[in-house]
A and B are shown apart, each in its own frame.
Chain A
Amino acid sequence: MSKKVLVVDDDPDVRLFNTTVVEENGYTPLEAENGEEALKIIQDKKPDLVILDILMPKQSGIRLYRELKTNKALAGVKVVILSGIAKRTFLRSQKALTEFGDAEVPEPEVYLEKPVDSEELADVMRKVLA
């Protein structure tokens, strides 16, 4: 059975692009349009990889990432961040939340700033899922 990749992004055009790349590379795509919806899918379908946007309605990728890395039941899920938000901001934000008393979280496996082309995204998926 092929590995499952969850694409989380509020922009339907980005979701379509990413899920197409996922499918063309032999993986099974799943999709969610915000962090809240994504968390339900992750708990239910246990994807092998999450390609995660940051700035979304309902729940941002920053909070979802934190949930994934601090919840033992979900710790095995790999995460690639794909966002217009700079990596530096992501790291500062996680640091700020840790300073407010939340648990420390590791850096993401890969952080890609939008836009990326299909080959770059496919390469990253293959490496992370190898």
Chain B
Amino acid sequence: MDIKKLLFATQFEELWFDALQSLLDLRKASLNHVVFLNVIEREKVTMRRGAGYQKKEEIKLREKANIRFIDWAENLFEQGMEVGVYIVVGNLASQVISAAEKEAVDLIVIGRERKGKIERMLMGSDLTEIVHRTGKPVLVYKYAPETGGPLERPFERPMLSTDFSSASRRAVDYLMPLNDVVQHVDVIHVVSEKELAGTSAMAVQKTRKESRNKLDEMCDLLEAAGIEARSHVYIGETVEQIEKAARECGATMIITGTSGRGGLAERLLGSVPKELSEKSAFPTLFVPPENL
């Protein structure tokens, strides 16, 4: 599973060219094509009483986006890369999905979710919709909280959080060809306190040992691909522990598999990916299961 082509979807508010530049390390693997996407939200150009469709506003927004993309594209073209561009009016998630399909990209890069909590409850999250409908890995890029700038090499030292699902295994497959980019992977599993409630110290140790063995199998696969890997078991609330582990490991990114659960179930019950995308300070790569 090589990353040859990525879709960089930006609204020019949450994601800039410096974020993309920090990902160009992937060229050492096989990245050679970047597709830019800007979605002009329909509300910005939609009909208003007495004014009709805001065609002039649409042209202005298109041209603003075009000027930025030309500048970014010139930089990439001069490095010998291939570049494409889409500037479209519509719904963010639908347009990202459509561009990802048309271009058959290997990775989608988006910024932090911009919808508010209530809007997400009512309409669902863009991230969830994109991950579930494209079946493509999605990187929610985040700038470093301390500096406000991009990380130098987000793929250098990722932390893979696994629940041993097929999506987690696919995440390992996704990392293996990146051995020129990824130096070290910490592979972690979080056991919830609920799973351990009422059990003896022996049973806790047994659970840890079982998890550790499964984690070590994943580490062996990564090491066979030339990537240093180390396993860790954490106990507690999943998202909180993942965040703690990422800090402890000095991770540059969190990687996690996503379940097939989406839409209403996720809106009502919540999910680890959704919470991570909203709360984590780290860039987070979501890998869906293969058969999604």
Contact = CB atoms under 8 A, between A and B. Distances in A.
Q: Is the interface of A mostly helix, strand, loop or mixed?
A: loop
Interface residues of B, number: 18
Contacts of A57: 35, 84-86, 99, 102-103
B8 interface: no
A84 B103 contact: no
Contacts, number: 52
B184 to A, nearest CB: 29
A125 to B, nearest CB: 24
Interface residues of A, number: 22
A107 to B, nearest CB: 16
B82 to A, nearest CB: 6
Nearest to B77: A93
B82 A55 contact: no
Interface string A89-130: 110110011011000000000000000000000000000000
Contact of B69 (A55, A90, A92, A97): A55
Contacts of A99: 80
A102 B35 CA distance: 22
Interface of A: 10, 34, 54-60, 62-63, 84-86, 89-90, 92-93, 96-97, 99-100
Going nearest first, the 3 A-B pairs with the smallest beta carbon separation are A96-B80, A93-B77, A89-B74
Interface of B: 35, 66, 69-70, 73-74, 77-80, 82-86, 99, 102-103
